[in-house]
Amino acid sequence: MRHGARTLEDRLLFDRKDHELLGIVHDVLGREDLSGVKHLLTPYLHPRGIKETAASQGLRTAYAAANLLGSLEIGKAHDRINALRALQAEAMSTAATHLKRNTARVLMQIMKELVRTEGDPRRQLELARDFRAAATGKPRVVARQLRQSHLALMPEEWNQVSFDNHVHDANTKGRKSATHLIMDAWIKGIRHLTVIYYNFVPEGAAEELLSAAEIMGITVRIGIEFQTRYREKQAKIIWVPRGFSGRSDFLAFLRHEEVVRFMSQGQRLAQLQQEQLLHVLGAFNDTVLPDFNSYFGLNAQPFGAEGFLAAVGSGQASLVHLGKYLHAGLMPHLQARHQTLEAELAAAAPDDRTAIAELMEELDLLDADALMDDYLESLVSREIPDDGEAAPLYCASQGPMQLIEEVTRLRAGNRFILNLCCLDSEDVLDILRLCRGRITHLETVNLRNSAMGQANDPVEIARLQHLMNRQSLIPLKRWVLGRMDALRASDAPEAPARLERLETALRALPSLHAQYRDRPLRTSMGSDSTGQSCRGYGMGMVARETLPPAARKASWAFTRDAGRAMVVGLRVDPRTVREPRESSHTSLDSLYAWARRTRGMRWLGFKAREEFKSRGFFPARPGESNILIMGGVKKGCGNALGRQAQADPAPRKGLSWTYLTTGLKNTLKVLAGFLPAMLTFLLTKDWWVLSWFGAVIWFAITGLRNVIQSVLGGGGISRTPLLKWNDYVSVDRLCESLMFTGFSVPLLDFFVKTLFLDRGLGVSVATSPTLLYTVMAMVNGLYICSHNLYRGLPRKAAFLNLLRSAFSIPLAMGFSAALGAAISAHDPSLADPILQQWAAVISKLASDCVAGIIEGLADRESNMAQRLGDYRDKIEQMLAVQEKLEILHPTVDGLDILAEPKRFVADVGKDRPDLVNAVIVNSLDFLYFWMYQPRGRQALARVLAEMDPKTRQIFSHSQQVLVRKREISQLFLDGLLGKNFSKGLAFYLDHSEGYLEALEELAPLERGA
């Protein structure tokens, strides 16, 4: 950030809170005295609970993101899981609008970029402002941020059919940890994921992956890829164990004796492959590197094996790791040589410039992918270590059927997927025959294979799969005969061998087809993404029909140049699921329950929710598939040598409306609305009161309506005494409302009332007051509806404004009649002229009176829904702790354990202090909800009324732990909320007694069961 005197631009751009958030991120990345923040990421602390007293939401989110995105060496898997849980909770709790999930996706993406952006203070401030703006949940802001991050809008019902059945994390050749991978998948909108490991699955990696997936609600399968020998090629088989009830069940499977033995063979094979790569590294040092140094004029020294293994980290050594390691080591030499060549090019004779320019271009193209493809691959084929007696029972020298037989001995449900890398359709048919129908899936689409030119025959393979699944054998036989005829006419050298394979397959076709007639050969699709290559696609695919209409048209969010990769489409059937309606109003809940029991009224008690069911894949021509690719290809492959020097300096960005200070933006918004309102009254009114104060009165009505609406929604008369009325009012929302209401003045008062009704139709207060107020109310309703839709507010809420206008008509007529009666009592001749001048104001007043109630109730509904969700989350945690207490004391009733707080803290604290702390934390969060969160008191009363007696007893008894002031105070001092505990401690000491007294009235403490 800039130092010294601030320019005018500095004063007009960005708020103090933007700088504070950026400072928080810098502190987090620098790990400056933030040891206490780690405690705020513990699972039991709710994001809207007591920890709000210790650290801002921005600090907690930044700390969680920084811990999650740090290198694998910083922190363990447990820390990453806690960070992900906290980050997801913070993002979801911040988003309080109808775009809750999409807002949370944007917040997490922005925080990722903010944590990773360095060296550009202006960009960091922009991201800080973007984060704060997105946190408001305004639909237009969220849509803009999604577009800037190349993310598609996902349905809030989270029912999209989105998947990727082949991705890698850092435990193989990927760049991201398992937790990071799951977070990125959720941000993209992926709901189903298959993560592929090589040869074996590390138990720790599986536990981290499955734990992260549970937090984010992503369905994850784990697959293991093996390389087997097939004739002169290699066939890659992916084994996906299945049939597990959850994470614990899968981890128990990995610990089974037979599985441990099998995985140890995989570890041995991985070790052999690592030794092979070390041979490749040595061969590179001996043969390739000297040529590089000679040809390019470099002075690179041989690369060490220790550095390579350190670069691999927790993953399995692969050519990808080796290519990146060598490229990183060569880059300083390439850059230095490129600079030298630039100087030589400037001084060279014209005849020599072409050669120098070509050498510079070769240096630029020598990236990690080029090293791997052009040099390392050939070295692998020459440096195959001897397996020896210690070789696994399965290895690359054996065929696919031997692997399948070995795996099936493990007594698990199996899914065998054939990776089609470098295989043609004849190869696939032959492998299916050799495996006797045990292959369950073809990886018909592998985006990496397509990008690297290793998808040999995808269209024909897709057709073969389709014919294999037909009930009749005849089409499949005709296909084989047609391929045989084509091979007989071909003069390709490999044609005779391929023809021989087809002849063998033709004889076995009846038995092979019978295997798949009733158990179809299914399709698997994956990106094979690692996050490492600039040639491969990013992860994620989605069925177009399952996206919102706006997202289907968002060409910037999907990859359009998939070429021949997408050779299948997905049949998706929508279906409607009806769920019971719920409301925060108990009377409405009773009405819904009655409707569900009443014939002919059941539709009122249920709400429709759309789901999508996949019915399998079908062959599709390139460009005709309904599956969209969500991950792009990195642009600008190569080393970018010299490009930065040649590029022009980044232009000064200057002022931007998006990043103006909030105060200035709000002022301009109010002025933008006030000016047309003021001019309308000045130029059209004769009476000085309306001429000079009409706009002020108009804005005062709008402002008062917003205040009433916010206070009514936040708690009304029964709101918590710790919050003042203005704590509920959003200044940004108020200013935006004032801007739009200002433009309604010329619309309603001049164009509608004066020009259209009075001068055009002769309709006035004197001639037809009902028609006058009806037309003005309807026009006002349409105007409000239109600008609500423009701002991206929920369509349901926007169209409800038409209903609001209808309710305002009789109220406006009542106001008009009352004012007319008061004027007539003084001078009847003045009534109609005055009412005609005030008609627009009267209509506005009536509309806002209705709006204040309707929108206030809508805000109440939103706040109640949030509080009910908060309480239900905490009650679920409370019951989980109680279950652990019951298990810890199997012969004692858990309620008896909680009945005496002093004994509970002393006895349980000896063996399980974590459970005592969890009970205390849950109680403190309940206290904070009650005292600080809007509608917290009404929501708790509702939740207690719905509880069964046993749960209500657990709740009441657990809250009594708050009487233990000494122990809880010590817990604050020991770092429950870190070092900033004073506010939280004072809050607890001041309000816990009153809270317990109020609880006794709501739910009297009952002794016994």
pLDDT digits (tens, 9 = 90+) for 586-640: 777 788 888 888 888 888 888 888 899 988 888 888 778 899 998 877 665 677 7
Averaged pLDDT, 151-172 = 93
In the block, tokens 């870190």 appear at 978
pLDDT class for 95, splitting at 50, 70, 90?
A: low
Q: Which sign, positive or negative, has the C-alpha torsion 856, 859, 865, 866? A: negative
Collapse the DSSP code of 117 into the 3-class scheme (helix H, G, I; strand E, B; otherwise coil) and give the result: coil
The mean pLDDT of the chain is: 84
Q: How confident is the model at residue 474 (pLDDT cuts 50, 70, 90)?
A: very high
Do residues 414 and 407 make contact, with C-beta atoms less than 8 angstroms apart? yes
What pLDDT does residue 721 have?
65
> Tell me, what's the pLDDT at 326?
92
Helix axes 319-347, 305-312, angle to 10 degrees: 110
Lowest mean pLDDT among 301-310, 564-573, 704-713: 704-713
Q: 90 Cβ partners below 8 Å, 6+ apart?
A: 47, 57, 60, 61, 64
User: What pLDDT is recorded for position 2?
Assistant: 46
pLDDT at 668 (0 to 100): 92
Average pLDDT over residues 151-173: 92
Determine the average pLDDT of the residues in 280-306: 90
Q: Which residues contact 15 (CB under 8 A, 6 or more apart)?
A: 129, 132, 661, 662, 663
Residues of the chain above pLDDT 90, percent: 29
pLDDT tens readout for residues 813-850: 998 889 888 888 888 888 888 888 888 889 888 888 88
Question: Is the pLDDT at 642 greater than 70, yes or no?
Answer: no
Residue 324 · residue 342 · CB < 8 Å: no
Residue 382 has pLDDT above 90, yes or no: no
The predicted-structure confidence for 34-56, as pLDDT tens digits, reads as follows: 555 566 667 788 888 888 887 77
Confidence (pLDDT) at 649: 47
CA distance 744 to 701: 13
| Max mean pLDDT range (184-193, 353-362, 764-773) | 184-193
Between 97-111, 934-948, 970-984, the lowest mean confidence (pLDDT) is in 970-984
Position with higher pLDDT, 715 vs 169: 169
Average pLDDT over residues 887-902: 85
Cα 616 from chain centroid (whole Å): 26
Query: CB–CB of 177/315 below 8 Å?
Result: no
Give residue-wise pLDDT tens across range 512-533.
Answer: 999 998 899 999 999 999 887 7
What are the start-end ranges of the H helices in 889-964? Answer: 894-899, 901-911, 913-932, 936-946, 949-959
pLDDT surpasses 90 at 238: yes
Average pLDDT of the residues in 114-132: 84
User: Is this model's pTM higher than 0.95 or not?
Assistant: no
CB 772 within 8 A of CB 763: yes
Tracing tokens 């590029």 back to the chain, one arrives at 647
First to last CA, the chain: 62
Question: Which of 916, 920, 882 has the alpha carbon at shortest distance from 45?
Answer: 920
Checking if the pLDDT of 12 tops 70, the result is yes
pLDDT for res 542: 94
* pLDDT mean over 999-1007: 71
* 711 or 879: which leads in pLDDT: 879
pLDDT at 647: 44
Rg (CA), the chain: 34
pLDDT over 50 at 558, yes or no = yes
How big is the CA angle at 12 (ends 10 and 15), to the nearest 5 degrees?
A: 85
The segment with the largest mean pLDDT, out of 163-177, 186-200, 453-467, 655-669, is: 186-200
Rounded to an integer, the average pLDDT of 976-982 is 77
Asked if pLDDT for residue 714 goes beyond 80, the answer is no
Q: Output the pLDDT for position 390.
A: 46
Q: What percent of the chain has pLDDT over 70?
A: 90
Categorize the per-residue pLDDT at 423 as very low, low, confident or very high, splitting at 50, 70 and 90: very high
731-753 pLDDT, tens digit each? 888 888 889 889 999 998 889 98
